[in-house]
């Protein structure tokens, strides 16, 4: 009996031991079964969620990727590191139709290789002496250049027509005779364009390409703006000072003779009474010296 009991106890302990081994093995299998690729078992995939809009980061600008089947109008994106090009602002001195810009360099003397001089008359003040000056020029068969203001032309249209019909060169002296340096850009353009309109309506031809600034007042801005609308700045080589109240025939003649040179551009005034009294004798002296008196255009040739 005791032998049988001992055998039964041994069988019981052996069974319990195997049972424990199975339980431990089972626990190990269950504990590792959730790791993909372990134990040769592949877990069954769950349902796949439909992705929503995905943010794509480019630099600092986020853009959205739309879902399939959705049409999205793209918003314009700025380009990094690029500065927008500003649109040009129209110049107040835009060149009139058919007019070409000219050189901004100033003219104060002509061709020094030829024995020519240019007589130039500014017309912006009195007009009484002008007819006598035209008579003297005609007697000497000389053509001169007249720089005329628009106001003077409006007051003396017959004189303007006579100047042109007798072959003299008509150029621009502004509309109202201001110091152009004191005007804004638009004012400079307006002064020149208005004078040209008045004078061309009387003669049928433009005053371009020459103008003379009133009082000789000019600077780089004035020269550049006038050149942009087709006008070269014409200054002078010799100022006769015939506009001064102290001027005499002797003083005018002496100034010209003391500074005379080939290509000289001589400043006179169509409204100077003393000039009208001096001109005949002065021109005779110049002719005797072998000088040919011509227009600005001709003295530059």
Active site (catalytic) residues: 122, 269
Rounded Cα distance, 283 and 135, in Å: 13
Q: Which residue has the tokens 């021109």?
A: 283
Rounded Cα distance, 277 and 186, in Å: 40
Cβ-contact 164, 170 below 8 angstroms: yes
Chain CA centroid to CA 70, Å: 49
Q: Which candidate, 192, 182, 194, places its Cα nearest to that of 225?
A: 192
- Please give the DSSP secondary-structure letter assigned to residue 234: B
* CA end-to-end span of the chain: 155
Rounded Cα distance, 120 and 113, in Å: 20
Rounded Cα distance, 208 and 200, in Å: 10
Q: What is the DSSP string of 104-165?
A: -S-B-B--TTSSEEEEEEEESS--TTHHHHHHHHHHTT---EEEE-HHHHHH-HHHHHHHHH
Rounded Cα distance, 240 and 195, in Å: 25
Element (H, E) at 171: strand 169-172
């Amino acid at each position: 009996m005791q032998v049988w009991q001992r055998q039964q106890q041994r069988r019981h302990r052996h069974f319990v031991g195997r049972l424990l081994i199975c339980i431990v093995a089972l626990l190990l299998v269950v504990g590792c079964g959730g790791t993909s690729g372990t134990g040769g078992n592949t877990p069954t995939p769950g349902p796949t969620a439909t992705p929503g809009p995905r943010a794509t980061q480019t630099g600092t600008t986020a853009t959205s990727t739309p879902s399939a089947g959705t049409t999205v109008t793209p918003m314009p994106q700025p380009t990094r590191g690029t500065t927008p090009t500003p649109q040009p602002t129209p110049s107040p001195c835009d060149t009139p139709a058919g007019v070409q810009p000219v050189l901004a360099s100033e003219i104060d003397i002509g061709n020094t290789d030829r024995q020519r001089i240019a007589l130039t008359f500014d017309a912006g003040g009195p007009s009484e002496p002008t007819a006598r000056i035209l008579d003297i020029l005609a007697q000497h068969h000389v053509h001169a250049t007249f720089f005329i203001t628009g106001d003077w032309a409006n007051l003396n249209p017959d004189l303007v027509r006579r100047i042109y019909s007798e072959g003299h060169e008509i150029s621009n002296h502004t509309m109202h005779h201001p110091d152009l340096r004191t005007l804004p850009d638009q004012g400079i353009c307006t002064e020149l364009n208005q004078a040209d309109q008045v004078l061309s309506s009387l003669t049928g031809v433009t005053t371009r390409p020459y103008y003379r600034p009133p009082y000789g007042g000019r600077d780089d801005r004035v020269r550049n703006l006038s050149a942009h609308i087709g006008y070269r700045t014409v200054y002078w080589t010799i100022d006769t000072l015939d506009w001064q109240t102290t001027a005499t025939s002797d003083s005018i003649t002496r100034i010209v003779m003391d500074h005379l040179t080939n290509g000289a551009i001589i400043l006179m005034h169509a409204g100077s009474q003393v000039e009208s009294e001096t001109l005949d004798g002065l021109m005779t002296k110049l002719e005797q010296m072998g000088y040919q008196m011509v227009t600005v255009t001709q003295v530059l040739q």
